[in-house]
Structure 1
Amino acid sequence: MAAVRVEAVLAAAEEQEAEKRRSITVEKELELEFDLGNLLALDRNPPPAAAALRGAGPRREALLRALARDNTQLLVSRLWELPAERAGGAGGPLVARLPEPTFRLPREKPPPRPRPPTRWEQFARLKGIRRRKKTSLVWDEQAKEWRRRWGYRRAGGDPARAWLAEVPAGADPEEDQFARLRREKRERVARNELNRLRNLARAHRAGSAVPAAPLHPTGHQDREELRRVARVARVSTASLGRFQPRLPKEPAEPPSRSGGRKRRFEPLLGNLAAERSRQLELLRDMGSKKPVLDITRAVNKQMRQEEAEAAAAHKGKKQSQRGKRGRRQQRPGRSGKKSGARRQQQQQKPAGGGTGGGRRKKA
């Protein structure tokens, strides 16, 4: 057995220790810029072997992996320098509080539009009503326990499911109060659902409406604003700008997806997967017990029906008022006609004619 020298063992141990230190130690000519709030590290050093990175092959992949690994190691080392604490006690994980981000990252999608206020919110803002936060649990005197304020197993229970119903004063004693309570509950639920659909339809109309492009006659409009206003003016014609002449140096606009047609027909030969998904969705809707509800159409139909009923009631009220006014004006007219006919009959009679039926005037 060959003798093992102590110097060789120590050299091997030193190499292993140097390899461990090398795995966590990264040296850069220019220090990286860190944004720990976004977990971002910006490396402004030129990449090593730029000529090798232009080509393709295993060497390029190895260089890119080594560069990404070194930068990630620097970012992780900076994260370990932050003050850390144990979450959930001594046995919890070690977490660090990140600072505020300094680099503004671009958004992938535009920010969502603000939700339009409902009718109740508009009324509350007009009257100055402020919303007060209520606790979700209240004390139930009947059950002697804390229960929810709303929903299932709420405090006080559902009056329609109570075993005893009080007959209000002035009500019919023969009326079924339980049926009345159930009917009132159905009406409240239907009214709330109608209000919810109205709010959805109003929000849909407000979201789909395109605001007019502002054009202030100050002479300082930029190119984009003038282009937008010119486009709005062109498509405001009856032909949607099809026969409108274009301005010089005005770029041609891409054709619209709809093409000015009300209906769109899919091509006969196209994506089979999309066709299969559409057919399956159609069969699923036909086989489902729950009917498909078009919110916009339902709300518009309900609003048109209410407007028609209000218009009919207003028209009937006007006709009744007009009939009363006509009868009032017709009564004196009839008496006047009768008096005029009597005068004509008296004028046609001879002065002394008759069989002695005439009366003498007193002097």
Structure 2
Amino acid sequence: MDTPAPPLTPPVLSTLPVPSHFAPERVGEIWRVPYQQRAPEAERWAQEHHIPPAEFDRVRVGLLLIDVQNTFCIPGFELFVGGPSGLGAVEDNCRLCQFIYRNLAHITQIVATLDTHTAMQIFHPIFWVDAQGSHPEPATAISAAEIRSGRWRVNPAMAANLTQGDLTRLQAYALHYAEQLEKGGKYPLIVWPYHSMLGGIGHALVPAVEEAIFFHAIARGSQPSFQLKGASPLTENYSALSPEVLTGPEGDPVGEKNESLIRHLLEFDALIVAGQAKSHCVAWTVSDLLQEIQARDPSLARRVYLLEDCTSPVVIPGVVDFSEQAEAAFARFAAAGMHRVRSTDPLWTWPDFPRPLAEET
């Protein structure tokens, strides 16, 4: 018996409605996703709206969601990204969920990165002590000069866990690390509050976004890809594609590029990017992606779309504001050929969006 042909993808001009289960007022809250209820609803939704399985997509569209986790996106959590409005990540995720639902038929796969940490890492307070044995406060910047002077030194307790008890080696590495950040034009070494702790609730995806990802997976028969980053104790990992520092003072490896993810992202006909924070993990991920694109084929930059209204910069009132750095990064990406777009604009109005989608209208 012949297998029936898949239904045609709905025209771009008739974007899908948002399912009734989506509750905008709950985007900033923690709750359990009702998987057993949503799964059959997603299957019925696909049938009702003639949504084909993702395997039949003639244009493959990837949606890269960077660190859309409770630790960054729920008010009151460790590193909530409030942005200029004070509710940035919540507002971003409300728009993001609606974008996923409206464009369900055209998103081939969702790739979600997860910032992943444990207690003893170079950017957490426990790693450092001053002359009195006190740990630095969160948001403290530690320079190479301060490590040389002894203003900040490695907590001796770290050596037993990270370098088989060799404190001298770990102290030398810490200085090397701060120097490499400064030489490479990176952000300085920042002490962050404990966040995205592996196994903790902060590490989990925001429930509303997780629900949208699950609904997409069932409706389109498309397995989402979850990418963990940041587990190396001796380097920050803002970018989902590469840690901040790759080698130690003697050339020994500290971390490595995620080559398989880089290849996967560059295989999409269009790649849409959103997440948190615009000034840090989003900016550094896109920067690393651009570097890979320029090394391969600079024209590939035109395939990348940055959802400007689904990402916010780090802003800590009275302490630090990275809005200017975020804007400068996005301006550089646009100058290289990437597109700054809004989630509320239809895909067919986006510049350079793959023509087969538009031709179906």
**TM-score of the two chains, using structure 1 as the length reference:** 0.20
TM-score, normalising length from structure 2? Answer: 0.20
Higher helix proportion (structure 1 or 2): 1
Bigger-Rg structure (1/2): 1
Of structures 1 and 2, the one with the larger relative CO (CA 8 A, separation 6+) is 2
